[in-house]
Chains A and B, each alone.
Chain A
Amino acid sequence: MSETDKNVLLIGDELLAERRGGPEARLPDDMHPLAARTIHAIDWLNDWTGRIVCLMVVPIIFAMVYEVVARKFFVAPTLWSYDVSRMLYGMSFMLGAGYALMRGLHIRADFIYRGFSERIQGRIDLILYVVLFMPSMLLLLYAGYEFALKSILQGERAGDSTWAPIVWPVKSSFAIGVALLALQGISEILKSWYAATRGKWPV
């Protein structure tokens, strides 16, 4: 994609994907090498998480189709398809939350925000990531860790299904998902720092 094409795309694309970063994006040369390495490493981690987590839809499709066919044609419904589908769905959207942040996909109501210069945008983001985002995520990480640990130690099973599977994979995914979000927050803080000081987004 040429430089002009990219700008045209960005005009309408700002809200959702105002900067579709990612490990493939080249970071500017005037960025501190440590910052650049950190951003690259975190983005790489969440990118690969996303690439793997996106595959979880496939077994959900399989479970649903299997259940429908087995129940309809063989009067042999399963007890597992219900639980498998909801657990995989829940795990995928939490584990993918960091990936979505890396891609700039979490929705903003920013018809005021995008009128600002990139330097101002960077400052706003920098402040809010530090003051609003990181404390929330760290608190949640702490709570999520305890929540998951308790479930693992209890060997907790789902109380609202016949199959009654263990639920710690879901609760652990919540904690891991928050950890990935918090980690991505570091990368986003470094990117906003750059924008706040240099007046343009690094990626």
Chain B
Amino acid sequence: MLALSNEILGLYMIGAMLFAIFIGFPISFTLIFLGIVFGALGFGMKLTIFLMTLQFYGSMMEQTLAAVPLFVFMGFMMEQAGLMERLFSAIQLMLARMKGSLYLAVLFVSVIFGAATGIVGASVTILGIMAATTMSRSGYDVRLAAGTITAGGTLGILIPPSIMLVVMGPVLEVPVTDLFAAAIIPGIMMAVLYTLYTLGRCWLNPSLGPPLPEDMIPENRSDIWKEFFLGLVPPTVLIAFAMGSILSGWATPTEGAGMGAFGSLVLTIAYGKFGWKKTYDALIKTLEISVLILFLVAASNFFGAVFSRLGTPSMITDILLGLDFGPSMIIIMILTLVFLLGWPLEWVPIVLIILPILQPVLIELDVNMTWFAILVAVCLQTAWLSPPVALSAYFLKGVAPDWDLKDIYYGMMQFMVIQLIGLGFVFVFPELALWLPRYLYGN
């Protein structure tokens, strides 16, 4: 048998994964199994299963992820009380004759969410819980709707505060505050691009986001205002609890999630919608969704760790560095690499393994690291959207089981194209990232 280097083995591992998960067995267990098999081939069984216990334990002790069940619970409480759908119906009523108003609503809420947390799982999940049903009921195009929710949800890792930027700062030796400031304009720009795209497509083809049927548009303008007001109150209160506590500096993102969960309880009681059975159901559903998200996070962390341990990411990086190109070309190639690795991997291994190896070369080439970090961040957003390891899709699928995974994939693909356009803007106009930090902090 041919001697196989571990790096090449890693390529086979990716290949095997791309094949195996489509057999249809639960993805988590497939990833775990492949991680064990390829890890055992590469560096032995004992070490592989030990690596797995460590990766799982690491995921279990990650306090930022505790925000996931809290935001999910908040979402379910609101859903059970029927308080959250009201905002969407209210905006739908306000903009009743406007095509695709719910896209606008989702993207608006996405930005608010993104500004409060950096937890994509929670954002996509809660957006899915709030919007998916309403969008289905209103006859929205499933693909465009799924794409809007998943892409909108990933805005949270770009718009500060962002866990990804916090991790990236020390790796690239750029103060995290600079990265936060630098990410604001690109984040808003992406939201604008999404909005232009969704509304543009609705304008061309109204069936993608139909206005309300005539018989559902109220005659009385005061009805609309009443509905709008009633619809707006609960989310405003909730935002005051969750995002408000974070933005005002009362709470860290996870604590803010706890405040939001508490706020949702207060709201259901205030609206007279509280019930022990309903609350218990929300708890059970919270557990179900949390397990589905977090077990997969842990499993993909393990899979990624084996892949990294095999050295394949380093090999890909080495090849890149061996080529003799100028800074722009190198950056384009790095971003291509990041983009490609984003399909099978999540951002964590990419940020922690690839960037540190590349950092010396970039400094050698005199690349502005703040700008580079934002390019990588915009590029890495696609990792959440690119199958087969597209956690956004699975988060959404978890809360919108009626939507076909294939449709969700197609929806996300459209937004990956927009993402690349946005990436091009930041690449061609570095000031999009660099102006605000300079304005805020001088130098």
The chain A residues found within 8 Å of chain B, CB to CB, are: 12-13, 15-17, 50-51, 53-55, 57-58, 60-61, 63-65, 67-68, 71-72, 81-82, 85-94, 96-97, 99-101, 103, 105-114, 121, 124-125, 128, 132-133, 135-136, 139-140, 142-144, 147, 158, 167, 170-171, 173-174
Contact = CB atoms under 8 A, between A and B. Distances in A.
A164 to B, nearest CB: 13
B270 interface: no
Contacts, number: 212
Interface string B49-90: 110110011011111011011100100000000000000000
A124 B295 contact: no
Interface in B219-251: 245, 250-251
Q: Which of A13, A103, A108 counts the most chain B CB atoms within 10 A?
A: A108
B336 to A, nearest CB: 25
Contacts of A67: 255
Contacts of A143: 49-50, 52-53
Contacts of A81: 255
B283 A114 contact: no
Contacts of A86: 60-63, 65-66
Contacts of B283: 54-55, 57-58
Interface centre among B26, B259, B405 (most CB of A within 10 A): B26
Given A64-B257, A89-B69, A107-B394, A53 B287 contact: yes
Contacts of A114: 24
A184 to B, nearest CB: 11
B291 A85 contact: no
Nearest to A91: B60
Given A65-B262, A143-B53, 20 more contacts: A15-B401, A57-B73, A60-B69, A64-B251, A64-B262, A67-B255, A90-B59, A90-B60, A92-B287, A97-B291, A108-B25, A109-B387, A111-B22, A112-B22, A132-B30, A140-B53, A143-B49, A143-B50, A144-B53, A174-B53
Contacts of A55: 283
Chain A's interface: helix, strand, loop or mixed, by majority?
helix
A107 B398 contact: yes
Contact of A125 (B25, B36, B60, B291): B25
A30 B23 CA distance: 29
Contacts of B60: 86, 89-91, 93-94, 170, 173-174
Contacts of B290: 92-93, 96
Contacts of B27: 106-109
Which size class do B's interface residues fall under? 35 or more
A90 B29 contact: no
Contact of B56 (A57, A112, A132, A174): A174
B61 A57 contact: no
A103 B288 CA distance: 9
B127 interface: no
A181 to B, nearest CB: 9
Contacts of B387: 109
A86 B59 CA distance: 10
Nearest to A90: B60
A85 B287 contact: no
Nearest to A171: B57
A100 B65 contact: no
B28 interface: yes
B287 A99 contact: yes
A144 B33 CA distance: 16
